[in-house]
């Protein structure tokens, strides 16, 4: 059993704790918002109920997750620390600077940043060699993928250690050769989002249509056959020809996203404000959360026997 210390008990922090506890590990969770810490038990309980944990095991698994009330306390008990605080570089720097005086230099620190450079996160650290980018996907107890990346100063031994521990959880681990913002998954995902926003800005279709095309077409294909395998499958000559004629008309925008800016100026920020690209009528958020988990679960049995890619892309 490894004892993890998780900083940040929000969406990802509590979900990662559940994934670890299901595999028999312990997790001490610290958050600087007392309301988040007070609600941790309930949030873990409802994740466990949804996660497929057999009812007889729920209490034992839940008991492996405890709230801790300071970084010093967290550091005292942790074999590995996971940073899962808000996605702001300054916040991550403050947390790591406050943590390190309490933590022996050989204890690994993993950051769950989505799109920040690991080297930039490490910049505030006394011992940057111990920081590894370990990027989980939401919900962490369901989605198999975990991406692992070093920063410029990361000692490869810490990367190997993270890779081994995550693979032992039964996760699909991929290992990047070097640090790039967004790992692989978010770079691919947001290249698609950028193109979708361009289609909307150009008046090609409605937001709902983008989702239909992905859910009924592209997404189904990619859940079964990845884009690289598909490129070979259709032939690299055809792939080359398609890119040659299509690439000049694809978005290369880096700053202007008028569709989003217009909605944000009207305070239509999506789910939380009731309107965004779509209309968030009451009940839609719950329906989406349930559909997301059910959809992932539905695709998981196909992976059985394969447990694809322990060892991944390195
Ligand atoms: P969240 O907002 O749900 O949770 C962040 C938590 O950090 C909050 O509970 C907040 O109180 C706490 N926090 C903020 N400052 C703190 C401090 N100084 N000390 C202790 N706790 C502090 O955010 P979420 O979604 O859990 O994201 C956490 C990290 O995981 C971010 O870096 C995010 O980019 C990344 N991530 C998010 C994913 C998602 O789907 N939401 C997926 C993968 C990574």
Give a three-class secondary structure readout of 113-168: CCCCCHHHHHCCCCCHHHEEEEEECCCCCCCCEEEEEECCCCCHHHHHHHHHHHHH
Q: Where in the chain is the domain with CATH 1.10.1040.10?
A: 187-304
Q: Where in the chain is the domain with CATH 3.40.50.720?
A: 3-175
Q: What is the CATH number of domain 187-304?
A: 1.10.1040.10
Q: Residue 109 pairs with which residues in a beta bridge?
A: 81, 131
Q: Give 188 Cα–ligand 1 centroid separation in angstroms.
A: 22
Cis peptide before 139 (omega within 30 of 0): yes
Q: Kindly state if the Cβ of 114 falls inside 6 Å of ligand 1.
A: yes
CATH class of 3-175: alpha beta
Phi and psi, residue 90, nearest 5°:
-65, -35
Q: Give 28 Cα–ligand 1 centroid separation in angstroms.
A: 16
Q: Model's pTM, two decimal places? A: 0.94
Q: Kindly state if the Cβ of 182 falls inside 6 Å of ligand 1.
A: no
In this structure, which residue's CA is closest to atom 1 in ligand 1?
10
Q: Give 17 Cα–ligand 1 centroid separation in angstroms.
A: 13
Q: For residue 58, give Cα distances in angstroms to 9, 64, 85, 113, 166.
A: 19, 10, 26, 29, 22
pLDDT of residue 55: 87
Q: Give 240 Cα–ligand 1 centroid separation in angstroms.
A: 40
Question: If you average pLDDT over every residue of the chain, what do you get?
Answer: 94
In this structure, which residue's CA is closest to atom 17 in ligand 1?
32
pLDDT of residue 299: 83
- Per-residue pLDDT tens digits for 253-311: 999 999 999 999 999 999 999 999 999 999 999 999 999 999 998 888 555 443 444 33
Residues of the chain with pLDDT under 70: 301-314
């Amino acid at each position: 059993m490894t004892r993890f210390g998780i900083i940040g008990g929000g969406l990802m922090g509590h979900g990662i704790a559940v994934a670890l506890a299901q595999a028999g590990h312990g997790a001490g969770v610290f958050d600087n918002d007392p309301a988040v810490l007070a609600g941790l038990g309930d949030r873990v309980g409802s994740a466990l109920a949804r996660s497929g944990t057999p009812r007889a095991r729920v209490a034992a698994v839940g008991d492996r997750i405890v709230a801790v009330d300071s970084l010093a306390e967290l550091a005292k008990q942790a074999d590995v620390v996971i940073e899962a605080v808000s996605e702001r570089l300054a916040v991550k720097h403050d947390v790591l600077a406050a943590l390190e005086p309490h933590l022996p230099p050989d204890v690994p620190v993993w950051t769950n940043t989505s799109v920040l450079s690991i080297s930039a996160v490490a910049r505030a650290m006394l011992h940057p060699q111990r920081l590894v980018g370990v990027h989980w996907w939401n919900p962490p107890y369901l989605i198999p993928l975990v991406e692992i990346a070093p920063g410029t100063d990361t000692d490869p031994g810490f990367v190997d250690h993270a890779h081994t521990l995550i693979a032992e959880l039964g996760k699909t681990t991929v290992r990047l050769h070097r640090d790039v913002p967004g790992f692989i998954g978010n770079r691919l995902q947001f290249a698609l989002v950028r193109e979708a926003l361009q289609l909307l800005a150009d008046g090609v279709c409605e937001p709902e249509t983008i989702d239909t095309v992905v859910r009924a077409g592209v997404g189904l294909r990619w859940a079964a056959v990845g884009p690289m395998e598909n490129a070979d499958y259709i032939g690299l000559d055809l792939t080359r020809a398609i890119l040659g004629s299509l690439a000049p008309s694809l978005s290369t925008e880096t700053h202007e996203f008028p569709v989003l800016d217009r909605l944000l100026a009207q305070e239509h920020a999506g789910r939380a404000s009731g309107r965004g690209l779509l209309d968030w009528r009451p009940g839609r958020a719950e329906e989406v959360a349930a559909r997301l988990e059910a959809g992932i679960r539905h695709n998981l049995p196909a992976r059985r026997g394969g447990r694809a890619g322990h060892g991944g892309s390195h």
